[in-house]
Chains A and B, each alone.
Chain A
Amino acid sequence: MRNFFRRRRKSEKEVAAQRLRLVLAHDRANIEPGMLEVLKDEIIAVISKHLEIDAAQVKIEFSEDEAETRLVADIPLKTARRRRR
C-alpha cells in the first residue's frame, strides 16, 4: 500500500491520515518520537556487540493494524548482504 502511494503525489487526505496514524501510535504507546531515535541508537549499540550491522540502514518504527501496535525493527546485517551479492 505505502509503496503504491509513494509513486504519486499524496492527496491532502492521505497526508493527514498518515500523520495522524503516526501521532496516534506515539500517543498511544506513550513515547515521544525523539525517544525512538534514542532507542534506535541503544539497540544498534547492543546488537553491534554481537553482530556486524549496517547502522545507517536500521529502521525502528511503529506498525499498526486493528488489533495491535507493534514496534518493528528492521536491522540489516552486513554479512547477510555480502552473501546475497
Chain B
Amino acid sequence: MRGKIITISSGKGGVGKTTTTANLGLGLAALGYRVICIDADIGLRNLDVILGLENRIVYDIVNVIEGRTTLRRALVRDKRFPEHLRLLPAAQTRNKEAISEEDMERVAYEAAEMADFVLIDSPAGIEHGFRYAVRPADRVLIVTNPEVSAVRDADRVIGLLEAYGRAEPSLIVNRIKPELVRRNEMLDPASIVDLLAIDLIGIVPEDRSVLSASNRGQPVVLDKRSSAGQAYRNISRRLVGEKVPFMDLRGPSFLQRLFGGA
C-alpha cells in the first residue's frame, strides 16, 4: 500500500515549517512508522541541519530528478532511527526552477512506495516552490505563529489550496507563549482557528529547548522533558489517527515543570 504524503506549508517564512517537518518525521519514526522526509526548499536547504544529517549527504533531489542516481541511493538514513527515517535532501546550489510539479509528484509517489509517510517540507512563499510541494500531497499541514502577519499568510495559503481543489488543510499553531495568552497579550489558538476556519491538529508552545535542539541537530521531539517535544509527539500520534487531547495551555504547573510537559 502506498504511504501517505503530507506537505508542511505556511506561506510566511520563519514560522517553523522545517522544525515541524523534522520533529514529525522523527515522531512518526519513533512510533514505528517508515518515514521519508523530502526537503523541497531547493537552494535554501535546512532540513538536513535540523535533523543533524548534514554530514551524510551524497546526492540530492535534483540529482534524482535528473537521473544521476536513484531515489533509494540518494536517501540519507537517520542516525537514531536508521530503519525508519530517511531524508531526501534539497539541492543547495540550484534553484526551484530545477524541478517541475510533475518531477516532485513522481519523486513523492516513488518515495510513498517505500514508506508509510512522506513528509514534504515546503519552501516559504506561494510561488512555484509552494505549488510543487503541495502538488502530490494527500494532506497539508499549515504552520503559523500567533502573529497577525503569519496568520494572514496562512489564510492566503488556505485560500490557494481551496482554489486548487485540495482537501482542507490542518493547522499547527507554533510558538505559543502560554503566559502571554493568559494575560491576553497574544492571539490564542482558539481565536486563530476561528479566524481561519480550519481544523487544528497541534499547538506547540514556545520552548527554549527548540533552539538548543537546532544547535545540536537533535530535534526536541526526542527530548522527553521538553513541552514542545511533547506537543510534537502528540501531533505525530494524531497523524496516525489517535485521539490525543490538546495540552493544557494554562501554563506549566509545578508538577509539569518538574516532569516536563503533560
Contact = CB atoms under 8 A, between A and B. Distances in A.
Interface of A: 11-14, 16-17, 19-21, 23-24, 27-28, 66
Interface of B: 147-148, 151-152, 155-156, 159, 181, 183-188, 191, 195, 197
A23 B148 contact: yes
A63 B9 CA distance: 29
Nearest to A19: B148
B155 A16 contact: no
B187 A27 contact: no
B187 A13 contact: yes
Contacts of B185: 11-13
Contacts of B187: 13, 16-17, 20
B155 A28 contact: yes
* A contact patch SS: helix
A56 to B, nearest CB: 31
B156 A20 contact: no
Contacts of A20: 148, 151-152, 187, 195
Q: Which 5 A-B pairs have the closest CB atoms?
A: A11-B184, A13-B184, A12-B185, A17-B191, A16-B187
A25 to B, nearest CB: 10
B31 to A, nearest CB: 34
B152 A27 contact: yes
A52 B147 CA distance: 44
A38 to B, nearest CB: 23
B70 to A, nearest CB: 43
Contacts of A66: 197
Contacts of A27: 152, 155-156, 159
A6 B185 CA distance: 17
A13 B186 contact: yes
B195 A12 contact: no
A11 B188 CA distance: 12
A16 B195 contact: no
B155 A13 contact: no
A12 B152 contact: no
A17 B197 contact: no
17 contacts: A11-B185, A12-B186, A13-B181, A13-B184, A13-B185, A16-B186, A16-B187, A17-B187, A20-B195, A21-B195, A24-B151, A24-B152, A24-B195, A27-B152, A27-B156, A27-B159, A66-B197
Contact of A16 (B148, B159, B183): B148
Contacts of B156: 27
The winner among A17, A20, A28 for most chain B CB atoms within 10 A is A20
Contacts of B152: 20, 23-24, 27
A63 to B, nearest CB: 14
A13 B12 CA distance: 20
